[in-house]
Structure 1
């Protein structure tokens, strides 16, 4: 019996697609396990360079086998992200379109769980701003957690419907819409998705994609770029959407340079000849993906005037306390969210004010912590950030077993002589905070993300 029984009419719907090879495609689903790949965090230690490099992503690597990432401390420290290799092509597009030396505002509209957001952020510098939005409220925490692990202070997480962005006329230079789709590109990783595939569902997804794109179009500035992607093979959700975009809006297609040996199929839409890029298992070492990039040639007007929202400022003594913990403290703007002090690069103050006025924000920059008198009660997010001044805080190095104890929020089997708040490190990478006391260690790793799973046999983690 075949491991995969494709939905009725599915293969028939692909038969006429340019570059589709049914024999290779079927064999990949029947006989080849999905590859495991990771992408390194360029802002932290280059954790693991093992196996084959992903051709279109210099930071991406295939692993020979899937280890237990849960029990790798470097995963929890944000040194890499476990991401499907085909998805990393979005980073290749961004590097091609992103202007040199000019700051950009980027929106990742459908961002959870955060793989593509961290991918975009990896190609950005402090002058650039990433707004990572998730429409579904319950998916926002995992998005915020993954961006916190990545460690940068130029990200803002929002929880808004696409139509809310129509107010931000011409605000973004680059928008990624990784659209909700029928999911056929993930059949090999998630065979259950085949039960939900139908021609009717494809059509419903097509209509939803049009609504999302129409809502988001006004907030892209003239000369800006729209990156559109799906994990679907369906023509209606891919090339047909490109034709609709070019027919309905002032957008022109952009051809992205690729190499033949990558195995990516370059297509063009039937009406407007808009360029698209298809990833087929069996022809690429990855799952199904469609991606395209369009440039906006029209003007949607400008954002209306606004009054700067009053921000609570630190008094002199407080700001001195905070600055002592920050690398290059004058580079940042400090503000309060409830009882927590936050830091974001100063060049994003105006953007932050605009976004606060128009959107529901869940996270801005880096959460530093609370002030209690002259003491900072540091936040977990601050521990994982790249802005912390390591010379001003205690650091305690843990071996692998101790690190797992820490990540389980258990008592740590270690003797210490120092006192106070300490970063708990593994191979020099920060995992979080503990408070060192004369007769014990208080473990402050967040309860909601601690490890619950039983530990696998030795050798089941990345080495």
Structure 2
């Protein structure tokens, strides 16, 4: 159906067309129209879904590559609905049972988050602001999404360990690590954004965390700043395609450059995180990498890159739910162990889209790049290529040749006046003659010496 530019699209008609096209594509041989290809149906479906759900064509095409069509509709529908409000009990100050009773007495309708969490509570409705109750101000709980509890559970911090939270703001995961460690050991809570660290400091004070040190550094520089940690948590900056329900602007403001820019930064941060871990740690040697994105470029692709570049292997996350990560995607083939990574989706787990991978470092040495990887490295950094090394040498030779010529000119008047050659030969020893000059001039010097001796 064609629309005039000024006429708004009829969403009801578009929705009906999406449903009918979905039915055709699910039984294409039987229900398709004569002369119409599958690609035509898919192009029309993508255009209609982009109009109906207000997504950019780029992002919708990317999501169609990740999800089967029926699941894609469920994912898009789930992004139109906000996720449940969840809180995490701060066991440094109270127990979940006592906190739940106190909030129920204030008119809060809640339930335990699930069997997988011992500290989470889901809030259905409340007669008081959840972020301003006396219990909140006293640090008895933290407002925190259900999916952001999972990376800390996968990290499984132990008491008295040294742990790095590389991108810690606003401090929810840091404080969860602290309560699992019972305020023992040391946590380095780092973030590159100084403004966001203010909320980290405030939350750590409110929650009674005493084993954390807050730092404002670029995570990519971390092995140089400080290393030797038992465990590292990297909640990497990402495109946010898993939290569209919180930020609908993501539907239209992301393009391929944004995704690849994020992926490049994530690779750098993950290598830094790995380098910051001590492989010989008695209790640790683990890295947990997570993002709130569903794109393969920011998740499996990044982890697969790290497996090739560092002495690490993937291990089980310890989470008994979630979908397995991709081991193949379009024309890419990833390491088979990527099936141990976990993906979480809003339409299947009723939490923000999330990806979690747990790595174990088995050696502190950095493997040398393989032969097939060297050309790519040289292309990325031209200064290390063979041409860059060889280029200055001809200039050096030319310079050396000119020095020899100047020395020879100075030598000629000395020969005519009958001066000794001993003092004149010293400057020539300091200059390395080029091959094509030396053959022509060495015999001349011998003849001159014989002539001098004859005199």
TM-score, normalization by structure 1: 0.59
Mapped pair 1:8 → 2:38: no
**What are the residue-to-residue correspondences of 1:136-175 with 2, within 5 Å?**
136-167=193-224, 170-175=227-232
State the alpha-carbon separation in 1 of the partners of residues 220 and 153 from structure 2: 28
Within the candidate set 37, 41, 48, 2:100 is matched to 48
Query: Partners of 1:282 and 1:76 in 2: how far apart?
Result: 33
CA contact (8 A) 1:168 1:218 kept: no
Paired residues in the alignment total 293
CA 1:167–1:33: 2 relative to 1, 3 Å: closer
Give the distance between the partners of 1:19 and 1:129, measured in 2 at CA: 44
What are the ranges of 5 or more consecutive residues in structure 2 without an aligned counterpart? Answer: 1-10, 12-50, 102-109, 328-332, 367-455
Q: Distance in 1 between matches of 2:78 and 2:260?
A: 27
From 22, 26, 29, the equivalent of 2:79 is: 29
How far apart are 1:258 and its partner, in Å? Answer: 3.4
Distance in 1 separating the partners of 2:221 and 2:93:
34
Matches within 5 A, 1:77-226: 77-95=138-156, 98=157, 103-167=160-224, 170-223=227-280, 224-226=285-287
Q: Could you say which structure has the higher helix fraction?
A: 2
Structure 1 stretches (4+) deviating beyond 6 angstroms? none
The 5-angstrom pairing of residues 289-308 of structure 1 reads: 289-300=354-365
Conserved 8 A contact 1:169-1:221: no
Q: Cα 1:18–1:220, aligned 2, differ >3 Å: closer, same or farther?
A: farther
Cα shift readout 1:393-447 (whole Å, capped 9, x = no counterpart): xxxxxxxxxxxxxxxxxxxxxxxxxxxxxxxxxxxxxxxxxxxxxxxxxxxxxxx
Q: Which of 273, 276, 300 is the matching residue for 1:239?
A: 300
Tell me if the contact between 1:105 and 1:174 (Cα under 8 Å) persists in the aligned partners. Answer: yes
How many angstroms does 1:121 deviate by?
1.5
In the alignment, is the contact (CA less than 8 A) between 1:19 and 1:265 conserved in 2? no
> Given that residues 54 and 85 in structure 1 are in contact (C-alpha distance below 8 angstroms), is that contact kept between their aligned partners in structure 2?
no
Confirm or deny: 8 A CA contact 2:66 2:295 kept in the other structure: no
- Give the match for residue 60 of structure 1: 120
Output the CA distance in 2 between the equivalents of 1:191 and 1:141: 26
Please identify, of 57-66 and 76-85, the stretch whose mean Cα deviation from structure 2 is larger.
57-66
Moved more, 110-119 or 3-12: 3-12
Sort the Cα spacing of 1:294 and 1:122 in 2 relative to 1 into closer, same or farther, 3 A.
same
Matched, 1:272 2:347: no
How far apart in 2 are the matches of 1:3 and 1:187?
15
Which string of whole-angstrom CA distances, capped at 9 and with x for unpartnered residues, describes residues 32-68 of structure 1?
3321100000011232263142343210111113652
Shift of 1:163: 3.6
> CA–CA distance in 2 between the matches of 1:129 and 1:140?
18
Question: Could you give the per-residue CA deviations for residues 250-282 of structure 1, whole angstroms, max 9, x where no partner exists?
Answer: 1100122333xx4x2122443212232111111
In terms of mean alpha carbon deviation, does 46-55 or 192-201 score higher? 46-55
TM-fit CA distance, 1:17: 3.4
Whole-angstrom distance in 1 between the partners of 2:114 and 2:63: 26
Q: How does 1:376-415 map to 2 (within 5 A)?
A: none
User: Does 15-24 or 180-189 show the bigger shift?
Assistant: 15-24
Q: Distance in 1 between matches of 2:115 and 2:53?
A: 28
Q: Which is further off, 191-200 or 153-162?
A: 191-200
Residues 121-169 of structure 1: per-residue CA shift (max 9 Å, x gap): 2211343211111111111111111111120321111111124422256
Computing the radius of gyration from Cα coordinates, the structure with the larger value is 2
Q: Aligned to 1:190, what secondary structure does the other structure show?
A: coil
Residue 3 and residue 153 in structure 1: after superposition, are their counterparts in 2 closer, same or farther (change >3 A)? Answer: farther
Counterpart of 1:286 in structure 2 is 351
Q: Deviations over 1:318-367 (max 9, x none)?
A: xxxxxxxxxxxxxxxxxxxxxxxxxxxxxxxxxxxxxxxxxxxxxxxxxx
CA distance, structure 2, for counterparts of residue 246 and residue 276 of structure 1: 13
Counterpart of 2:319 in structure 1 is 258
Which moved further from structure 2: 172-181 or 155-164?
155-164
CA contact (8 A) 1:56 1:88 kept: no
Matches within 5 A, 1:441-456: none
CA contact (8 A) 2:86 2:113 kept: no
RMSD, aligned α-carbons: 2.3
Q: Is the 8 A contact 1:222 1:300 kept in 2?
A: no
Alignment of 1:362-377 (within 5 A): none
Q: Which moved more, 1:126-135 or 1:47-56?
A: 47-56
